[in-house]
Structure 1
Amino acid sequence: MKTDHIIAALAGTYSLINSTPWRNGTESPSPWGRNPVGLLTYTRYGYMSANMAATEENVRPLNIRWPPKDTDADEDWVLVGRHAMSYAGVFSINQSVPATKFGGQLVHGPMIAASVPAMVGSTSGRNYAVHEREDATYLLVSIPSDDPNFRSEIWWKRVVKG
């Protein structure tokens, strides 16, 4: 299948359902907690953005607002930064891995903007698997790792077809 057809099939906005890191075959705590929120968007023009955040009050203080005030505790903003991530840039299909509209590997990046400064300009692979069900389309994104004892799985539900 041509890469532009795959990109068109993936295009849309997805809502975060679950983020699960695994270490040595055991589920590890997610930096986004047990009830994360987020959106992942792929456009048919080859751009993407991802936003994820925890919702638990112990890691997501409700007493701070944007814009930050001088009276805000730095510790509160540290928690927000540690338990949220956003990045955006271009994306493409990794052509060295067999790909269809149902599975393959994406390349996120180079990143144009990111909440983590070191991510700007970076690229990273994401394996994807599309699961079409009666109720919705689900996207499983897993992050390849050089560490054979670590894997991360993120489930998304399509909310808008793009």
Structure 2
Amino acid sequence: MKPEAIVKALAGVYTLVNTTNSRDGVPGPPNEPGRWKGFLVYTNTGYVSVSMTSYTLADLPNNGAGLIWPPPSDPSLDAGWTVVGKAVLTYAGPFSIDPAYPATKDFGGVIHGPLDLMSAPMLVGTLQRRNYTVVREKGKNGGVYLSLIVSQPDRGLQSVIWWRKVD
């Protein structure tokens, strides 16, 4: 299958279902159900946008009171903005099919990047490689699910992120 056809097959809006993480092969503690929220958008022209967050208002000082955009010049709000900054992952840029892996519309590798923007500034301009698997389920919990595996072997980290297609 041609890479352009795979890009079109993956295109859509996905909502975050679950994340699991491991370090040096040891699974991390289970994520609290519903704690992580997020969206992944793939366009049929080859762009990606990801937004994920793991905080709740209860995690923030004063339940987030005063944390509005644009942020006011109030140093008393810095602690709340620190929580938000540590718990939000966003990035956007082009995406393509990774030629290093055999790919179909159901499995292979994607490259996110070079990233145009990223909530971790050191990663702007980098390539982020992911292995993907598409699963189609029928029945009550049916739908199209996308698993992205994020590996950082040099740090001993691996994340498996499941998304459900909503559009």
Q: In the alignment, what sits opposite 2:20? A: 20
Change (3 A) 1:148 1:66: closer
- Segments of 5+ residues of structure 1 without an aligned counterpart are none
Instruction: Compute the RMSD of aligned alpha carbons.
Output: 2.0
Query: Which of these residues, 59, 69, 72, is aligned with residue 66 of structure 1?
Result: 69
Deviations 1:90-113 (A, max 9, x none): 000011211000000000000111
Read off the aligned partner of 2:11 and give its amino acid letter: A
Q: In the alignment, what sits opposite 1:152? A: 159
Larger radius of gyration: 2
- Segments of 5+ residues of structure 2 without an aligned counterpart are none
**Structure 2 residue 86 is the aligned partner of structure 1 residue 82:** yes
Q: CA deviation at 1:144?
A: 2.3
Change (3 A) 1:4 1:13: same
Question: How do 1:1-162 residues align onto structure 2 when only pairs under 5 Å count?
Answer: 1-28=1-28, 34=33, 35-56=35-56, 57-58=58-59, 61-63=63-65, 64-71=67-74, 72-134=76-138, 135-147=142-154, 149-160=156-167
Q: TM-score, normalised by structure 1?
A: 0.89
Deviations 1:111-135 (A, max 9, x none): 1111111121111100100001122
- Stretches (4+) displaced over 3 A: none
Counterparts of 1:49 and 1:120, CA distance in 2: 13
3-state SS of paired residue (2:99): coil
Structure richer in helix, relative to its length: 2
Counterparts of 1:33 and 1:59, CA distance in 2: 17
Contact 1:49 1:89 in 2 (8 A): yes
Identity %: 37
3-state SS of paired residue (1:92): strand
Give the count of matched residue pairs.
159
3-state SS of paired residue (1:144): strand
Q: CA deviation at 1:156?
A: 0.3
